[in-house]
Amino acid sequence: MELSHPGAAETSPLHLVSRPDPVPGDGEVLIEVQACAVCRTDLQIVEGDLEAHQLPLVPGHQVVGRVLAAGPGAAPLGQGELVGVGWLARTCGVCDMCRRGRESLCRRAEFTGWDRDGGYATHMVASREYCYPIPRGLSAVDAAPLLCGGIIGYRSFKLAEVGPGDRLGLYGFGASALLVAQVAIHQGCQVYVVTRGTAAQERARAAGATWVGAPGQPPPEPLQAAITFAPAGAVVVEALRALDRAGSLVINAIHLDRVPEFEYQHLYWERRVQSAANFTRQDSAELLHLASEIPIRTQHEEFPLEEANQALLKLKTDGVRGAAVLIP
């Protein structure tokens, strides 16, 4: 499914095309796609909120598939092995961020489905060093939603620096927040959810949340940390107001509208705000290990590849229960 020109999801901007199977280059592998989850970042690229880095473009960066072949110099990987490919496609390894072990902030990073073709296809190529073995017992459709919302949500959870007994607020309860909730509860946190819609609120309760409320409704106790998932600046201010002293707020969004003006008292008492940007390969390995240990399970709705436009539109209108997953 190819994007030639960005456009509103309502206009079906993706078009089904046939291409020759891609050929893996140096250090790359050829993957037969089995599942590709649909992310809100895909929607932002398709609609032009995030400027496309190449056109035409095949979106998709939550990909699970089987290895068919390896290019020159690719480290050994078993043919037929099930692997995942995420948002981070490649880093330079030499910039100051990479040298400091912060590859998620690499100044010359490339991203799947943005800088290079992604998984809205039957086949794709990916750098061998950025493919992650999928644990046994985790199916392709269960694993795919973990590879962006899950990993970046997990990184947000790490940045929040909470431990057993701490109160963690989740603002919004889509696919990513559901995954974070499972990790947080597994590690002994109390999860407080603020989200709109009765269906999302019921999912939060079913996931084991300590408390669930609607936007504008403050949690009954101050929070040690909070993570916001909605691309709305007003939610950032609402979450900040709910923090206890020394509380931390992590913004899980690649695109955010304007944060409204707020009183300094909401930031005082050594509260802190930071963003979660991308993820590292270590984050990916840790989350996939946890996914099989907990075990993490996702809610998903499957769509044939050729219905990618419908999946994006349903995501835009909050009509997807859990994660949308394309099946070639």
Same structural domain, 112 and 130: yes
Between 149-160 and 281-293, two packed helices, what is the crossing angle to 10 degrees? 100
Instruction: Clarify whether residues 283 and 140 are in a common domain.
Output: yes
pLDDT value of position 107: 93
Residues 6 and 142 in one domain: yes
Structure tokens at 269: 């008492």
pLDDT(77) > 80 = no
CATH number of the domain bearing residue 248: 3.40.50.720
Give Rg (Cα) of the chain: 19
The pTM score is 0.87
Separation CA 190–CA 179 (nearest Å): 15
Q: Report the distance separating Cα 23 and Cα 328, nearest Å.
A: 19
Q: How many residues does the chain have?
A: 328
pLDDT given at position 292:
87
- Taking residues 208-225, what's their average pLDDT? 97
Amino acid in position 296: I
- Are 185 and 128 part of one and the same domain? no
| Residue of 261, 221, 228 whose CA lies nearest to 244 | 221
| pLDDT for the residue 76 | 67
Specify whether 171 is located in the same domain as 282.
no
Whether 55 and 183 map to the same domain: the answer is no
Query: pLDDT tens, 141-152?
Result: 999 999 998 999
Q: Into how many domains does the chain fold?
A: 2
The first and second tokens of residue 101, run together, are 């072990």
Mark whether 191 and 282 lie in a shared domain. no
Distance of alpha carbon 318 from alpha carbon 263, whole angstroms: 32
Verify that 20 and 84 share a domain, yes or no: yes
Q: Are residues 264 and 290 in the same domain?
A: no
Give the pLDDT of residue 297.
Answer: 78
Q: What does the alpha-carbon distance between residue 230 and residue 236 come to, in Å, rounded to a whole number? A: 9
Beta strands in 128-271 (DSSP E): 131-133, 167-171, 190-194, 211-213, 223-228, 243-251
Which residue, 275, 298, 316, sits at the end of a domain? 275
Please check whether residues 84 and 201 belong to one and the same domain: no
CB 119 within 8 A of CB 39: no
Give the pLDDT band of residue 231 (cuts 50, 70, 90): confident
**Which of 234, 249, 275 finishes a domain?**
275
In three-state secondary structure terms, 100 is coil
Q: Which of 99-103, 194-198, 270-274, 317-321 is least confident?
A: 317-321
Closest Cα partner for 299 from 151, 84, 145, 85?
A: 145
Separation between Cα atoms, residue 291 and residue 147, nearest integer Å: 11
Do 143 and 32 sit in the same domain of this protein? Answer: yes
Q: Are residues 95 and 21 in the same domain?
A: yes
Quote the CA–CA distance of 201 and 99 in Å, as a whole number: 43
Exposure of 204 in the CB half-sphere (CA atoms within 13 A): 26
In DSSP notation, 3-26 reads ESS---GGG--EE----PPP---T
Cβ atoms of 200 and 173 closer than 8 Å: yes
- The helix (H) or strand (E) run that includes residue 41 is helix 40-47
Instruction: Report the run of H or E that residue 272 belongs to, with start and end.
Output: strand 272-275
Domain that holds residue 234: 150-275
Average pLDDT over residues 174-180: 89
The CATH number of residue 55's host domain is: 3.90.180.10
Mean pLDDT of the chain: 94
